[in-house]
Structure formats: structure tokens, C-alpha cells
Structure 1
């Protein structure tokens, strides 16, 4: 099928990459706006998240998630297309691996038209994982015990901490997030998925390196009240290291989930980036 193009100079395919521990549902507040702006908008649940398969035991990795994305793009017949990526949190790191493969012309890579990151712990040195994340990631053989103890109350308390005081999820939204996690016993694979925090440290050179060397248009949308990537140290380091990127810092009360906390501000920031190149 032929694809019609929107604004001259910008490709019309958008790929959305969600964060941990949630799913593509994170994009629902800006979905309609995005589908009006782009011809194709693609959102997936990563392996181990949302309504995707959650194999266990399994060694989850950022590399595998990137390969899943490449396979999906090929499956949709979009391999020849230039793709805009909009990512959040964990998705930021998957996006950086996709960018690395694209910039190094690896076989099967997707062609990236632009990349917009948001609130991802891409620098290990300014990343502060939540207590529960640390416990699950580093407890070795006792981790499976902890994953079975995660209940709705514990989960919603953890999520509440990474939303701003005026932009808390509704009870219904908490349940929607929790449902995505509980589907196929997703809580039982969390300890394995969380190894991505260690992977970021191990492969920092590769992923931060590609961010500093790429020629693709780059943008960062940042909710500054984020306890995981605190202000101002995170954004100062980003601006220092990634000088080619533009940055949108949202209102001071917006935290780790900007697309849910301030969908209008988030979408407008993204739109002005997309219209800028």
C-alpha cells in the first residue's frame, strides 16, 4: 500500500516505546493527537510487559527488545520507511540500541528519522532506582519470593511516588496499570526484566556514545519532579553530553510520567520538535 505523507520533510510513521513497569497504555492520553498528526502510529507492549508474552524463566534484555521492535517493523512492511521514535523510561534505552544499530548499519536495522526521549535513566550516574526495583534486581535467588509478594497496594504506592502531587493517577488508572502487569503473571518476571538497570551500566559506552555521535534529530521531554532522574543534575548532564539535542522541561510539578501527567504540554513539546526539522 502507498503511504501518504504529511508535513514535507517529516516521515509519517511514529513508533512509541513505553517504560517500566507499565505498557503501551501509557500513551492513551496523547494517542488521538498523535494519530491526527501521523499517518501510522505504532505502539507495542515489550516482551514481559502489558498484554505481551511473559516467558519465564527468561533472560530479558534491551538487545532482545530492540530485535523485537525491528521484527515488528519488518512484519508491518515498514522496513523502507524512515521512522520517528517517541520513547519513555525503559523505552529510551531500547531506542538508543535501535539508534546504535541504525547508525552502524547493522542488518535488519530500522531507519530512524528522529528520536524523542522522555524521563529515561539513560545515565547510570544520575539514575536513582526505586527501593522496590533495587530489591528485585539484586536479591538473587530470593527475588522470586519478593515478586510473589507484590500486590496492588505495594504497586500503587510505588507508582504514586513517581507521579507529581497534583497529577496522581486515578484509582481506575492504577488498576489499569496493575492489570497490565498481572496479565500472564508479569510480576513474576520483574526481577529478570530489571536487569536492564545493570545492562545500562555495562553498555553505557555503547548507548550514551551513540547519543553523542548520532546525526539524527534528537529531543528530550522532561518532567523535572522525577525522583528517578532528579532535576537539575539529570538534565544538566544531558545538555552537557548531548549538545545537539533540544530539550523541553515541563512544569515543575510534573514528574516521571509526563505523557500521563501533562499530556497537553507533552504533545505540544513533541509537535514543536517534529515541526523543527
Structure 2
């Protein structure tokens, strides 16, 4: 009941803003700086924002960061500098529909398209012949699973994956509990149509939320990729996560993927561990990278 009222409260403000024609707020100095430090490449007819930082001298290692829903590459800002001290290249993009990338509509958004965009960025940067470490979160975990499937099946244009680190994502549909607003908008119906029309706000469109259904439909493909791979796997997990709750999620993860290593952060860390505990998250990731 408490969550229901919270969700209603969260909806009230943007709905009123639309009715009153309040313009969107200006970007903060931090976001302006993030955007000015990035660039764009074109995937088909879509402009995709990305950041590419040159880091550690003497290292040839590359890390690519895959963000979650409904945010952007800015999710990684607290650990960006730390990563540049270890990796020669640190790269992140805003998936289509997110952040500073294009948000076409109507549009059929899919995990498959996002994976192809990631492959397109790697080709654009001339890194398609180099091995790459993937670090992902939430929605990005599923994109990483699709990239892993393509790599394991030698698909043309696939990224050469050196390692994969997942964090707090709906890897298993059966232990993923989307928030109420996600359920409403994903399933459609009158309430969904009213909300999407009133809000006129992209992230609350049904199309983008179809990734939840895609996880269920393609579970065998994406979980199977994790089960069969020889790529080093790691999970960094915030155990207070209400979307992928402890201990249910972690028990299933260890059962299905017994060869993967796991870092469980402090008990108060929730769904965005890289933001809530950047030091713990970064240390866990670097320990994993340095272990092989």
C-alpha cells in the first residue's frame, strides 16, 4: 500500500507540469560538462551519444560501460576517474531512447537493437578487433547478455569479450520484480494510455518498457549465454535491491552460475551500487579484473 501511494505521488508532479506547460529544467553544470566531454556517432539514422576517455599509460585494457533503465551513461560518473587510472580506454554510451541520444517515436525498442548499437560504436571507434571488458548495470545487463550470446556464437560483427561484470539487473525474469509504474506501462490498457498521453514523457512509453517482456521471451537465449560461456564472469550486488531482492536473486544466481565470482556490498546498498557505494563498487570491479 505504501508503495502505491509513493508511485501516485511521483506521478502527480510531472502530470501537473504537463498541464501547466512548465518547460523542462535546464541541465545542471555537471550534466552540461558530461555532454561537452562526449561525442556522437550515427547508427542508421539515430544520433547516439558516447564518452571515450583515454586513461592509464602502459595499459592496453578497454572497458565498456552499459547503463540501466531509465537513466544514462551519467550513472558511471562517480567511478569514471577511478576506471581511467586502470584502463587505457573507458567508454560508455547512452542507449537510443536514453540520456543525450535520440529518442525516436513511435519506435520498436529492443535489446537486440541496443546490442547492435553497442557493436556499431565499437566499430566506429576502430576497436572491433580488440578484446573488451564489459561492465553493466540493470537494463545494461540484458544488453550484455545479448552481446555475450553473439560472441559465443561467432556472430558477424560481434564484440570480442574479455570479461563480463554484471550488477543489479533482471538477469532472471523469475526473480525480477518491476516497480508498480513499470507494470502499469508495460502491460498497456486504459490507465497506461492515459498516463503516457498526459505525461508526454518518453521514458513512460510502453515501447521502451517492453524489455521486461523480452527478458521473459528470450530467457533461454540470455541466461543460456551466461551458463555456457568461458568468459570470466563477476556479479557486484547491492543486497537491499527491491527489484532483484536478496536472498532470492543471489541464491538463484549462485545456483545457475556456480563458476561466477560474486561481490555482495554492504547491507544498506540497493539498486544503484555504483552511485550508492562508488568506492566499494570500484574496488570490487578492479579486484575482479586483476584476478585473471
**TM-score normalised by length of structure 1:** 0.82
Structure of larger gyration radius: 2
Task: Report the equivalent of 1:65.
Answer: 114
Q: Give how far 1:147 is off.
A: 2.6
User: 2: CA distance between counterparts of 1:141 and 1:41?
Assistant: 44
User: 1: CA distance between counterparts of 2:178 and 2:124?
Assistant: 35
Task: Report the equivalent of 1:186.
Answer: 202
Tell me if 1:235 matches 2:250: yes
- Listed as ranges, the matches of 1:208-223 within 5 Å are 208-223=223-238
User: 1: CA distance between counterparts of 2:189 and 2:122?
Assistant: 35
Equivalent pair of 1:147/1:187 in contact (CA under 8 Å): no
**140 and 71 in structure 1: CA distance in 2 versus 1, 3 angstrom threshold:** farther
**83 and 148 in structure 1: CA distance in 2 versus 1, 3 angstrom threshold:** same
Task: Report the equivalent of 1:203.
Answer: 218
Output the aligned Cα RMSD.
1.6
**TM-score normalised by length of structure 2:** 0.78
Which of 177, 186, 192 is the matching residue for 1:137? 186
User: 2: CA distance between counterparts of 1:122 and 1:276?
Assistant: 24
Tell me if 1:44 matches 2:55: no
Higher relative contact order (CA 8 A, sep 6+): 1
- Listed as ranges, the matches of 1:140-179 within 5 Å are 140=189, 143-150=192-199
The aligned length equals 237
Task: Report the equivalent of 1:122.
Answer: 171
- Listed as ranges, the matches of 1:88-127 within 5 Å are 88-127=137-176
User: 1: CA distance between counterparts of 2:76 and 2:189?
Assistant: 33
**141 and 108 in structure 1: CA distance in 2 versus 1, 3 angstrom threshold:** farther
Which of 13, 30, 34 is the matching residue for 2:62? 13
Task: Report the equivalent of 1:78.
Answer: 127
Q: Secondary structure at the match of 1:194?
A: helix
Structure with greater strand percent: 2
Q: Give how far 1:123 is off.
A: 0.5
Q: Give how far 1:255 is off.
A: 0.2
Task: Report the equivalent of 2:239.
Answer: 224
Unaligned runs of 5+ in 1: 151-181
Task: Report the equivalent of 1:161.
Answer: none
Q: Give how far 1:36 is off.
A: 1.2
Equivalent pair of 1:5/1:12 in contact (CA under 8 Å): no
Unaligned runs of 5+ in 2: 1-55
